[in-house]
């Protein structure tokens, strides 16, 4: 009865990819257990041999669910969506699904990896400028795309995986890397709307048990 066991999220309160998975669980109303993997303490708990068996990439999140261990947040979110009832995280219409995935990947492949902790650590100097450059570059592309796809949320009027990716990325931009989000009115407006939604509130880093 693996499906009746609560999923376990190995993550970190401030990791944007862990945050994405928390939002997906919350939107679906799925209870889960959290195990904190402190990315800073002792050089990073994600680097231990024990954690490496959960995710050989030595990144968070890793999710134990239905007898398998999955990493990569978008793979986890789509697995949840395909196996659990509750509100759809991807729309039924194939073109809208493609737009949701396009926006999600623009953030998950085009922005987030370039301002991730392990990349920033490799940059000698100008860490802040590096992160700002790639976030601004991504947001400059995302803004006109959202102008075409958005309704109340990123794609139309239903919350989707694209929104799940947007909120943590805007938080990183504004709170960690001092990017001026006022330059991107559509991004800013959707982010503000989403931050009022209960599933996003309970998933916020500041509400997690491992937040200082």
Distance CA 159, CA 91 (A): 9
Distance CA 172, CA 177 (A): 6
Residue 34 C-beta: closest distance to a copy of itself, Å = 20
Residue 83 C-beta: closest distance to a copy of itself, Å = 5
Q: Which of 36, 43, 42 is nearest to 15 (CA)?
A: 36
Residue 88 C-beta: closest distance to a copy of itself, Å = 14
Binding to a copy of itself in span 76-105, by CB under 8 A = 76, 78-79, 82-83, 94-95, 97-99, 101-102, 104-105
Considering only 114, 128, 174, 181, the residue that binds a copy of itself (CB under 8 A) is 114
Site for a copy of itself contains 145 (CB under 8 A) = yes
Number of residues that bind a copy of itself (CB under 8 A): 45
Are 202 and 161 within 8 A, CB to CB? no
Considering only 8, 119, 128, 174, the residue that binds a copy of itself (CB under 8 A) is 119
Q: What would the two tokens of residue 135 be?
A: 């976030």
DSSP bridge partners of 8: 33, 64
Helix (H) or strand (E) holding 36: strand 33-36
Considering only 142, 154, 170, 199, the residue that binds a copy of itself (CB under 8 A) is 142
Task: Tell the residue number behind the tokens 């490799």, with chain if given.
Answer: 122
Site for a copy of itself contains 18 (CB under 8 A) = no
Which parts of the chain fold into alpha helices (H)? 16-28, 49-54, 73-83, 94-108, 117-120, 127-149, 161-171, 185-194, 198-203
**CA end-to-end distance (rounded Å), the chain:** 36
Site for a copy of itself contains 56 (CB under 8 A) = yes
Region of 8-16, 113-121, 189-197, 199-207 interacting with a copy of itself (CB under 8 A): 113-121
Q: How far is CA 190 from the centre of its chain?
A: 15
Site for a copy of itself contains 164 (CB under 8 A) = no
Question: Which stretches of the chain bind a copy of itself, using CB under 8 A?
Answer: 55-59, 66, 68, 70-72, 74-76, 78-79, 82-83, 94-95, 97-99, 101-102, 104-106, 108-110, 112-114, 119, 122, 130, 133, 137-138, 140-145
């Amino acid at each position: 009865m693996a499906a009746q066991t609560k999923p376990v999220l190995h993550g970190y309160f401030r990791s944007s990819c862990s945050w994405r998975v928390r939002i997906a669980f919350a939107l679906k109303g799925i209870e889960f257990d959290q195990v904190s993997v402190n990315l800073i303490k002792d050089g990073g708990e994600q680097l231990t041999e024990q954690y490496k068996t959960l995710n050989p990439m030595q990144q968070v999140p890793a999710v134990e669910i239905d007898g398998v261990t999955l990493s990569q947040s978008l793979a986890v979110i789509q697995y949840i969506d395909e196996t659990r009832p509750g509100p759809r995280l991807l729309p039924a219409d194939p073109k809208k699904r493609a737009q949701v995935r396009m926006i999600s990947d623009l953030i998950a492949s085009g922005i987030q990896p370039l301002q991730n902790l392990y990349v920033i650590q490799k940059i000698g100097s100008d860490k802040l400028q590096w992160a700002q450059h790639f976030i601004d570059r991504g947001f400059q592309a995302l803004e006109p795309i959202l102008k075409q796809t958005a309704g109340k949320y990123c794609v139309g009027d239903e919350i989707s995986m694209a929104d799940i990716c947007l909120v943590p990325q805007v938080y990183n931009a504004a709170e960690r890397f001092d990017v001026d989000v006022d330059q991107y009115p559509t991004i800013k407006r959707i982010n503000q709307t989403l931050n009022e939604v209960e599933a996003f509130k309970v998933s916020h880093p500041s509400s997690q048990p491992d937040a200082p």
